[in-house]
């Protein structure tokens, strides 16, 4: 190659490398990119001083990809690439004055948790580091969700394996459909974080950009999912076998239906996690970087300490400071020691109904942010939201879902496997991981059996969805979960887009951030399982 003149095909290669789907190629080619850019800057004479068309092409290309470099300088788990990106940006800044240099707007992956308390990209923990590398190679990035899940590497492993399978593994739906479904699902909670990620993936997979103009531009087959996506997200108890029938009478095969249902439920519940943990916009996405002084978001990390102290005094004066760890420990101990109370099935049902009714009385924020028009392209009726199960009205008599009649272990698991090969086993592993995960700690205490607390969280979420486990004593929910925490759980599960930092700060105060993320993982999985129980039961009813 004539190095004196950078040919436009070279520029194209540059773009290609940066956006290459195959992350392996991408990291290998990275060396070349750096060299190319280096030679642009340092090369023969000073190419940036000439004003030919190649010059402006180079400038445009560089400008477009600077957010990519900026992101890589933070999220790349390979230290050499991270450092090279940093020095490249510095070099560009000082030598190519025409370029505009952005700064990241958020201070790390979560606006609720100070960056220094989050597992760093270059963590010294080998297992987590390997998972971060895997995630980077899978997704072309180490996204904020993954980094936050890095608190819980055992879970993260299972999560990444499942998500990789759903999006890129064998399965009946083509890749662009999978990402489009992710966008539709995230749209139900206005989760622009996930929408951005999957719009990018959709395009990289060769998806038709015109579909992104709005649902009405997508194929009828995808539009047919609209209704079921909506009820699955907010009122899964309304799913009937007729919904499944409608799809299979159209041109959906049963295994496509099952893959789509799992994808939708996965992204509904991942939206809960994104909001529940205050995940920030990815650096290279719109809003993740800014070309002006990034002052506003800087105050965010500071505000966490000021906010916490001011809200704590405010709340204790309201007598609203919640269950302290000591009380919680004492109650857990008591529950563990007590032998199973002798209660009749009727009493059990009563307890369940009490928790259910109380849940309906919990006031969450009445309105969320009004949806952005970019999101409304995928959401036709944003006002359709969760409604308390007990308020479902009597006209269509929907009974409580009895988990012993249709359970994940005995029914859902094998049905998922039957129509979508490994999905059941992967999900099963992930559910078990989230359900059983414990470090025997609570705040700064060690050797604590937290089973009672964790069961209460899980079963409370199912209760919100009208699912009753008849071997569980729902009285425990009220012993374990104070009202603020119930409100937090209900908001994150049902209306995640309405959650505020204050809500996060005001609950589980003595818990570590990693524990709050742990609770969010349970929330994600319990919601996912709840949605799938309804969806797969309808599939079964349709088949029999
Ligand atoms: C969510 C937390 C209360 C979990 C606790 N740290 C445990 O290891 O069990």
Contact indicator for 507, 488 with CB cutoff of 8 Å: yes
Nearest atom in ligand 1 to 522's CA:
1
Tell me the C-alpha distance between 412 and 416, whole Å: 6
Tokens describing residue 23: 């992350």
User: What are 371-401's pLDDT values in tens digits?
Assistant: 787 888 888 888 888 888 887 765 557 888 9
Contact indicator for 105, 286 with CB cutoff of 8 Å: no
Nearest atom in ligand 1 to 440's CA:
8
pLDDT of residue 22 exceeding 70: no
Is residue 312 classed exposed, middle or buried when 0-12, 13-18 and 19+ CB atoms within 10 A define those classes? middle
User: At residue 162, what are phi and psi to the nearest 5 degrees?
Assistant: -65, -45
Nearest atom in ligand 1 to 442's CA:
6
**Does 191 participate in catalysis according to the annotation?**
yes
- Give the pLDDT band (50/70/90) at residue 17: low
ipTM confidence? 0.98
Whole-number pLDDT of residue 60: 79
User: What are 497-516's pLDDT values in tens digits?
Assistant: 999 999 999 999 999 999 99
Tell me the C-alpha distance between 396 and 486, whole Å: 28
Catalytically annotated residue among 17, 76, 85, 191 = 191
Tell me the C-alpha distance between 194 and 187, whole Å: 9
Residue nearest to ligand 1 atom 2, measured at CA = 515
Could you tell me how many residues make up the chain?
544
Q: Which of 154, 323, 440, 442 maximizes ligand 1 atoms within 8 Å of its Cβ, making it the mutation to test the pocket?
A: 442
Name the more confident of 293 and 370: 370
Ligand 1 center to 413 CA (angstroms): 26
Would you tell me how many other CB atoms lie within 10 Å of the CB of residue 204?
Answer: 15
Ligand 1 center to 161 CA (angstroms): 23
**CA-based nearest residue to 180, from 156, 204, 157:** 204
**CA-based nearest residue to 478, from 496, 460, 458:** 460
Tell me the C-alpha distance between 408 and 431, whole Å: 10
Tell me the C-alpha distance between 390 and 353, whole Å: 9
Q: Which of 327, 433, 457, 518 maximizes ligand 1 atoms within 8 Å of its Cβ, making it the mutation to test the pocket?
A: 518
- Give the pLDDT band (50/70/90) at residue 45: very low
Contact indicator for 152, 518 with CB cutoff of 8 Å: yes
Residue nearest to ligand 1 atom 7, measured at CA = 438
Ligand 1 center to 96 CA (angstroms): 51
Give helix then strand counts, H and E, for the chain.
24, 6
Nearest atom in ligand 1 to 457's CA:
1
Contact indicator for 135, 164 with CB cutoff of 8 Å: no
Helix (H) or strand (E) holding 63: helix 53-75
Ligand 1 center to 480 CA (angstroms): 13
Tell me the C-alpha distance between 357 and 425, whole Å: 35
Please give all residues whose beta carbon lies within 6 A of any atom in ligand 1, as ranges: 438-442, 450, 453, 515, 518-519
Helix (H) or strand (E) holding 477: helix 475-480
User: What are 97-135's pLDDT values in tens digits?
Assistant: 888 999 999 999 999 999 999 999 999 999 999 999 999
Ligand 1 center to 350 CA (angstroms): 29
**β-bridge partners, 103:** 290
Tell me the C-alpha distance between 438 and 169, whole Å: 30
């Amino acid at each position: 190659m004539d190095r004196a003149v950078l040919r436009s095909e070279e520029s194209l290669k540059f773009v290609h490398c940066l956006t290459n789907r195959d992350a392996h190629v991408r990291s290998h080619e990275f060396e070349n990119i750096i060299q190319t850019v280096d030679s642009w800057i340092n090369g023969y004479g000073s190419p940036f001083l000439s004003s030919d068309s190649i010059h402006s092409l180079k400038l445009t290309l560089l400008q477009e990809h600077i957010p990519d470099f900026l992101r890589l300088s933070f999220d790349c788990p390979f230290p050499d690439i991270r450092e090279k990106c940093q020095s490249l940006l510095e070099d560009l800044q000082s030598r190519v004055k025409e370029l505009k240099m952005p700064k990241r707007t958020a201070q790390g992956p979560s606006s609720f948790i100070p960056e220094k308390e989050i597992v760093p990209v270059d963590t010294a923990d080998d297992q987590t580091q390997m998972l971060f590398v895997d995630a980077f190679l899978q997704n072309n990035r180490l996204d904020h969700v993954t980094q936050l899940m890095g608190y819980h590497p055992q879970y993260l492993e299972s999560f990444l394996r499942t998500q990789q399978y759903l999006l890129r593994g064998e399965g009946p739906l083509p890749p662009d459909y999978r990402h489009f479904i992710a966008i539709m699902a995230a749209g139900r909670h206005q989760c622009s974080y996930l929408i951005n990620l999957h719009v990018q993936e959709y395009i990289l997979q060769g998806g038709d950009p015109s579909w992104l103009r709005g649902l009405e531009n997508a194929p009828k087959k995808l539009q047919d999912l609209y209704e079921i996506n909506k009820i699955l997200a907010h009122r899964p108890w309304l799913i009937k076998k007729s919904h499944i029938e409608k799809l299979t009478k159209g041109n959906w095969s049963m295994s496509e239906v099952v893959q789509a249902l799992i994808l939708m439920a996965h992204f509904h519940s991942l939206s809960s996690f994104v909001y529940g943990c205050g995940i920030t916009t990815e650096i290279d996405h719109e809003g993740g970087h800014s070309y002006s002084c990034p002052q506003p978001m800087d105050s965010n990390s500071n505000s966490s300490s000021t906010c916490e102290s001011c809200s704590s005094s405010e709340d204790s004066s309201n007598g609203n400071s919640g269950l302290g760890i000591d009380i919680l420990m004492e109650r857990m101990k008591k529950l563990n020691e007590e032998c199973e109370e002798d209660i009749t099935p009727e009493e059990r049902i009563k307890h369940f109904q009490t928790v259910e009714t109380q849940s309906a009385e919990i006031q969450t924020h009445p309105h969320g942010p009004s949806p952005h028009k970019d999101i409304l392209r995928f959401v036709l009726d944003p006002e359709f939201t969760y409604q308390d199960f007990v308020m479902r009205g009597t006209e269509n008599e929907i009974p409580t879902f009895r988990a012993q009649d249709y359970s994940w272990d005995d029914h859902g698991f094998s049905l998922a496997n039957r129509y979508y090969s490994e999905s059941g086993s992967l999900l099963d592993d992930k559910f078990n991981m989230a359900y059983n995960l414990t470090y025997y700690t609570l705040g700064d205490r060690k050797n604590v059996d937290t089973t009672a607390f964790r069961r209460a969280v899980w079963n409370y979420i199912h209760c919100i969805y009208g699912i009753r486990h008849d071997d569980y004593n729902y009285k425990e929910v009220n012993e374990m979960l104070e009202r603020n925490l119930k409100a937090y759980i209900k908001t994150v599960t049902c209306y995640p887009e309405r959650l505020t930092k204050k809500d996060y700060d005001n609950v589980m105060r003595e818990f570590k951030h990693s524990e709050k993320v742990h609770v969010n993982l349970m929330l994600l999985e319990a919601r996912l399982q709840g949605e799938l129980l309804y969806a797969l039961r309808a599939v079964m009813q349709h088949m029999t």
